Amino acid sequence: MYVVIKTRNQNNEVLFVSAYLVGSEVFLRMTQGNILYEFSKYAVILFLILGMYYKGFSKNAVPFWFYLLLLLPGVLVSTETLNLTADLRTTISFNISGPVCLGVAAIYNYNREISLEHLNNMLLTLALPILSTTVYLIFFTPELKTILVSTASNPAASGGFGPNQVATLLGIGMFIFFSRLIFESKSKLILIVNLLILFNITYRGLVTFSRGGMMTGFVMIIILLLFIYKNTASKGRYKLNMLFAFVLFLFALTWLYTSSQTGGLIDKRYANQDATGKVKESNFTGREEIWDSEIAAFEDHPVFGIGVGKGLEIREELTGGLIVVSHNEITRTLAEHGTMGIMALVIVLLTPMILYLDNKQNMYMFCFLIFWLLTINHAAMRIAAPAFVYSLSLLKVFMNEEPSLHRK
């Protein structure tokens, strides 16, 4: 707060502060260091609103004002549908804080001009707390052979916290340090440092046995490499092919090391097998049943939905008191917001693609968008990362020292 007020957000300091909060969220949760469980989302919203106060926002960000308005009917419906025994504020805020964080971040970043160098530095600010998380896991994870008894995701290998959320942050950390390996390794020493960090983050992410976050990180890396390849002249593609081969070798080496440390269980995990090698009946650890219940709720209440947080309540009643939280933000939005939710999702999905037509220099745009899309399909929006990282796809990136707006 002091930094932002002192600088009056002249160089988008709120983005650096927000990125640091996003990167540290899971680490603070696993070490009980948060003031509130949803502290990071609230803080990101607060800082970005403060940033708007100092530097304004684009008048063309109307789609995301409309997006926030589309969330309102679901909140109003929930005040009528939630049981009297429910803590109304907590139930609603738990489910709506992620989408609201996305809306506010999108309004702030909509067509906001930023240099590629500034963006890379900001991503490093996000990644450094993830490095802290990795170091914490190195020191506090027991010997793997003593805790790995199945191919299920393992809290003991993820700092005693939810493997899904830990792997999500490690996946984005892996991507960021991979991008720095390519673009920011200006000496052999920095190259070696980035390689060591990348290896450790990838290894620690794999041994959580949570697939979603790591697969998302790998897809982001592939998209970035394809973008580089497409925008590289034919003469430079030989070196790029060598880079591809090196990257493939690096990740193959990491996988082989992980496989040896886990006694081959990681191979079975990603092949959807149990410890005995038998293929599991479900590819999504039973989440299909949650999806089905949310689709059914949407069919019963197609216009305004069943209300924010009501899905959790319905599943609790059906399972006799068992709390089953939705992992999929898309089906949750359909169930709890109805058609309004569909319109909101369409806005979020299409807007970055439309802006990209006039902003081809944002090489990370599709990476950020796919991170949001894949993450909300396996981890919903329980952490601030998908909301904040998505909003970065709306930035207007320039390579020059001065923004394109100031060209004559």
pTM of full prediction above 0.85: yes
Q: Name every residue whose Cβ is closer than 8 Å to that of residue 257 and which is 6 or more positions away in sequence.
A: 203
Selection from 169, 184, 190 nearest residue 127 by Cα: 169
Alpha helices in 31-183 (DSSP H): 39-55, 62-81, 88-109, 116-140, 144-147, 163-183
Q: What is the pLDDT along the chain (408 residues), one digit of tens a residue?
A: 999 999 999 999 999 999 999 999 999 999 988 888 889 999 999 999 999 999 999 999 999 999 999 999 998 988 888 775 556 777 778 888 999 999 999 999 999 999 999 999 999 999 999 999 999 999 988 888 888 888 888 888 888 888 999 999 999 999 999 999 988 988 999 999 999 999 999 999 999 999 999 999 999 999 999 988 888 877 777 877 887 888 889 899 999 999 999 889 999 898 888 887 788 765 555 577 788 888 888 898 899 989 888 887 777 776 665 666 778 899 999 999 999 999 999 999 999 999 998 888 889 999 999 999 999 998 888 899 999 999 999 999 987 654 444 433
CB 348 within 8 A of CB 102: yes
Selection from 177, 111, 108 nearest residue 394 by Cα: 111
CB 354 within 8 A of CB 313: no
Query: Which residues are paired to 279 by β-bridges?
Result: 273
